[in-house]
Amino acid sequence: MEETNVALANPIRSTYSTILLIFSIVLIVGMIGTGQTKVAQDVHPAFAYFLAFGSVAWLTMVEGGQGSLVGLTPVNLDLYKDTHPWSYKCTRVTNAGDNLDRYLMGRQLMVCLTVFTVNMSSAPVGGASLWGLPDTFNDIVYGSGLVMILYTCMVGQLNSQVNASLCMLDYINNWFAVFTMYVALAIEFSGLLHASYVIGMIVGILAGKPIESNEPPRSIPANLFFWARCLMSLAILGFCFAVTMVALFDGKTTVWESFPPAAAFVVFFILMSVVGMLEAMQIAFFAVAKLPAVERGSSFFALKTCHLLYTGEGNNLPGFMIGRQLCVVSCMFFVARVTSVEIEAGEDNIFGVGEGLQELFNTGLLGALALTIVGSIAWQLVASAFPIAFMSNPITFILLRICLFLEATGICYGAWVLAAIHKKIAGFQRDEVYIGTAEQRQALEKGDIDSLPLGTGHMIKLPAFASNAPAPLKKLLVKDVSVRTYINSLYDEGKENFKDEA
């Protein structure tokens, strides 16, 4: 089991990271049980428990489902139609037309919403303390959001990405995956995120690259419906920022009391820009990785960034992806705290709206929507058109260094332990067991089809979670074809099963 190999190869980091994760969960349970989180205070601790653990459970499918659906796109559906009927239900939908683009856009908002929900249900209110622990400890683990960050990253994201990258068919072969896929598509259909399409068109014009589609041109009614949703989305986005700015300057958010409104305003835009940079960097790094070295830019920082990422065994690229996950979630928690509206008793509602609409503001939905469009999708679309420009940015190099440092600490190694446990309990098997390798599928004249729409105007289909073989083995796999052949031969049982099915 690959996850076990990683954990055994790094026993110290795996052990301390797992202990930190367990301790974080205990602290979250304690804070909610004593009614010291926003949802626990405003509603009930039982509901806060449901949100804290239910939202992260859903996040595992949102993150794992992305890797599975993207990874399975080129594979012939007939190969697993009978063995994995739920997986077939998913890919039959997402492989049609531009549905994968739509799914990826909808799931981007789902990620932000789940992180904001964890913040509301798990983050302690001001002055919270537990079991008589010192204030310094509370400031470090609670005030910084560390416990929620570790819990969300390891349980909700990295753990699922590990298993979904290797066991795509088994991971989404359930009704939960189908339900999650349709929710993501419904979010996109609602038009809330259609401002992203306008941004994509603008980027396409600036880049001089037309946006290509896998679908025929829209009819006049469909075109009117599309543009109506684009206008609605732009109006909603403007309203989200208006509410957020008023709440920030009036001191009506859940940000720390000692934080002045002007500082909260500055932090909000800085963090949104950092999230955008991190989203853009992953796109730019994978896009530039496919280019010859001479085409990767000539500026000082472009050369330093490429040297750090691609030289040697190239382990810094997957290392960046892990550290980036920590950075993005950390920023999201801070943005959630800065933008979540909180009206004290006796204060006027924002813009004088009714209680029902004010309650909607209080959920943090507006902040999540703004962060998704302006702090995530927009940057991805720009990076897909101008990857070299991002590589030449000095901030890119600084953030890369920070992400690699976070990964090197091993603070997220507990995710490998969780992935190994989850894989064992669920009985996941590698996809080769069911559908063979790409070479075997080609031999049966059911080879993979490269049908992914890429480039300007499209959500980027990133590779699944980084290869997690031990470093010496990865080195051999790259250098020696005979080793790769031998590794493939280890799937004897899977090959026999595949031949029987064929």
- Give me the phi and psi of 253, to 5 degrees please: -120, 175
Q: Are residues 336 and 376 in the same domain?
A: yes
Residue 498 has a pLDDT of 44
Q: Name the DSSP letter for residue 352.
A: G
pLDDT lower than 70: segments of the chain: 1-9, 126, 143, 256-258, 289-292, 312-315, 345-346, 437-502
For residue 400, CA distances in Å to 206, 307, 322, 324 come to 27, 12, 11, 8
Query: 155-197, pLDDT tens digit by residue?
Result: 988 888 888 877 889 999 999 999 999 999 999 999 999 998 8
Q: How far apart are CA 258 and CA 118, in angstroms?
A: 23
Residue 467 has a pLDDT of 41
Q: Which residues contact 222 (CB under 8 A, 6 or more apart)?
A: none
Q: Are residues 327 and 476 in the same domain?
A: no
Beta bridge partners of 253: 341
Residue 468 has a pLDDT of 41
Instruction: Specify the residue for token string 């830019």.
Output: 297
Instruction: Specify the residue for token string 């139609």.
Output: 81
- CB-based contact 50:172 (threshold 8 Å): no
Q: What phi-psi label fits residue 463: left (phi over 0), alpha (psi between -120 and 50 degrees) or beta?
A: beta
The radius of gyration of the chain from alpha carbons, rounded to an integer in Å, stands at 23
Q: How far apart, in Å, do the first and last CA atoms of the chain sit?
A: 26
- CB-based contact 29:50 (threshold 8 Å): no
Quote the pTM value: 0.79
3-state secondary structure of 486: helix
Q: Are residues 319 and 416 in the same domain?
A: yes
Q: Are residues 107 and 174 in the same domain?
A: yes
Neighbour tally for 341: CB within 10 Å: 25
Number of domains in the chain: 2
Q: Are residues 425 and 478 in the same domain?
A: no
Q: Are residues 12 and 151 in the same domain?
A: yes
Q: Are residues 464 and 475 in the same domain?
A: no
Q: Are residues 223 and 254 in the same domain?
A: yes
Q: How far apart are CA 498 and CA 440, in angstroms?
A: 9
Residue 58 has a pLDDT of 94
Q: Are residues 432 and 491 in the same domain?
A: no
Q: Which residues contact 285 (CB under 8 A, 6 or more apart)?
A: 309, 317, 320, 391
Selection from 292, 296, 295, 314 nearest residue 304 by Cα: 296
Q: Are residues 277 and 188 in the same domain?
A: yes
Selection from 492, 188, 120 nearest residue 369 by Cα: 188
Selection from 254, 297, 492 nearest residue 393 by Cα: 297
State which residues form the domain around 99.
2-468
Residue 177 has a pLDDT of 95
Q: Are residues 365 and 491 in the same domain?
A: no
3-state secondary structure of 493: helix
Selection from 229, 248, 283 nearest residue 108 by Cα: 283
Residue 401 has a pLDDT of 92
- CB-based contact 258:245 (threshold 8 Å): no
Q: How far apart are CA 320 and CA 325, in angstroms?
A: 8
For residue 88, CA distances in Å to 78, 179, 205, 453 come to 9, 13, 37, 20
Q: How far apart are CA 427 and CA 420, in angstroms?
A: 10
Q: How far apart are CA 2 and CA 23, in angstroms?
A: 26
Instruction: Specify the residue for token string 């950390």.
Output: 330
Instruction: Specify the residue for token string 């920590």.
Output: 326
DSSP 278-329: HHHHHHHHHHHHTS-GGGS--SHHHHHHHHHHHSTT-THHHHHHHHHHHHHH
Residue 456 has a pLDDT of 54
- CB-based contact 380:280 (threshold 8 Å): yes
- CB-based contact 381:457 (threshold 8 Å): yes
Q: Rounded to the nearest 10 degrees, how much is the dihedral formed by the CA atoms of 103, 108, 113, 115?
A: 130
Q: Are residues 439 and 500 in the same domain?
A: no
Reported as type and span, the H/E element at residue 159 is helix 159-166
Neighbour tally for 88: CB within 10 Å: 21
Residue 294's Cα: distance from chain center in Å? 31
Total residues found in the chain within this entry: 502
Residue 206 has a pLDDT of 80
